[in-house]
Amino acid sequence: MAHPKTFTTIADHFRTRILSGELAPGTKLPTNREISGQWQVAAATVSRALQALQVEGYIRTTPRGTFVADDPRVTLSPRDRLARVARVKSILADGETSRVTSASLVVPPLYVAELFDLDPGDQVVRREWLAGRGQVRTCFAVTWYPAPFAALVADLLSTAPEKNAGLTSRVLEATGRTITSARDDMHAREADAREASALGLKLGTSVLAGAHRWADEDGVIEYGEWCLPPRFTIGYEYQP
């Protein structure tokens, strides 16, 4: 039996290339034998890796071979988006676009105020945006930042879509902060009216929702809440 890390590493390799856009929808993958030779692993290991990707919706198999799904129901996890900030200074995947529906200074709900260690009445930057690929909506999100950041990065209060992708990177550069701790929390629930409208769903549709916290020793740099349309897959590998 192959060591689990071997087939998960192969699966993660192709998953990352699909998410980045390097392998476009409809692209034919190498044969199992070719992958086996490239990775120097048994054919059974390759089969397990491809089976995992097929279950997740990244690829499809036909008598002519294995192809990237024409409309892969996948999107980036917060971990993936943070990794892209480090690599290419963008939170969006290749081919993914975003539309910002609101950006303003607001007095936040109590739980957000507590996350940022604010006094009653203090404000934060609140940004609401929708990501998509072509006609497919991939994520609806609300992100929050400390209010003083708005004086350093004016784009935090802009709804211009072209400024959204690189915003986290510009915040880090302008503030001199470095994200040293990150946490994701996820749960399944029904979409509320705002989320259903943004994602084009019926009210009460089941969605995967989550929140991320990116921080350093001085506190939270970015807090985000997000939800995905039904049947969308996110995933990441971790070291046990």
Q: What integer pLDDT is reported at residue 135 of this predicted model? A: 78
CATH number at residue 176: 3.40.1410.10
Does residue 193 sit in the same domain as residue 164? yes
Report the pLDDT value the prediction gives residue 111, as an integer from 0 to 100: 97
What pLDDT score does 147 carry?
Answer: 98
**Do 24 and 116 have their domain in common?**
no
Number of C-beta neighbours around residue 75 at 10 A: 24
Assess whether 127 and 156 both reside in one domain: yes
Print the domain residue range for 11: 4-68
Please tell me the predicted confidence (pLDDT) of residue 1. 45
User: Tokens representing 230?
Assistant: 């039904």
pLDDT at residue 19, rounded to an integer: 72
How many CA atoms are closer than 13 Å to the CA of 138, on its beta-carbon side? 25
Dist. CA 188–CA 74, nearest whole Å: 16
What was the pLDDT predicted at 72?
63
SS3 156: helix
Q: Is residue 234 part of a domain?
A: no
Grouping H, G, I as helix, E, B as strand and the rest as coil, residue 206 is strand
Residue with tokens 């996350």: 115
Q: Please indicate, yes or no, if residue 25 is contained in any of the structural domains.
A: yes
d(CA 210, CA 195): 13
The pLDDT, as a whole number, for residue 15 is: 83
Please give the distance of CA 193 from its chain centroid, rounded to a whole number.
22
Q: Is residue 118 domain-shared with residue 190, that is, in the same domain?
A: yes
**Phi, psi for residue 60 in degrees, rounded to 5:** -135, 150
Rounded CA separation 24/67 (Å): 9
| Structural domain contains residue 198 | yes
* Amino acid making up residue 97: T
Nearest to 131 by CA among 166, 102, 93, 169: 93
pLDDT at 239: 67
In a domain, 237, yes or no: no
Q: Which of 50, 68, 86 is the last residue of a domain?
A: 68
Q: How many domains does the chain have?
A: 2
Task: Let me know whether 108 and 222 are in one domain.
Answer: yes
Mean pLDDT in order along the chain per 10 residues (240 residues): 66 82 86 92 91 85 88 81 92 89 97 97 98 87 98 97 94 97 96 95 96 97 96 75
* Domain-terminating residue out of 68, 98, 116: 68
In a domain, residue 205? The reply is yes
With beta carbons less than 8 A apart as the criterion, state whether 59 and 29 touch.
Answer: yes
Round to whole Å and give the CA distance between 6 and 184: 25
The residue among 64, 54, 58, 56 whose CA lies nearest residue 22 is 58
Position 188 scores a pLDDT of 95
Q: Find the DSSP H helices in the chain.
A: 4-20, 32-39, 43-56, 78-88, 110-115, 149-152, 167-175, 193-199
Residue 233 lies in a domain: no
Task: Measure the CA–CA gap between 224 and 66, rounded to whole angstroms.
Answer: 36
pLDDT value for 4: 47
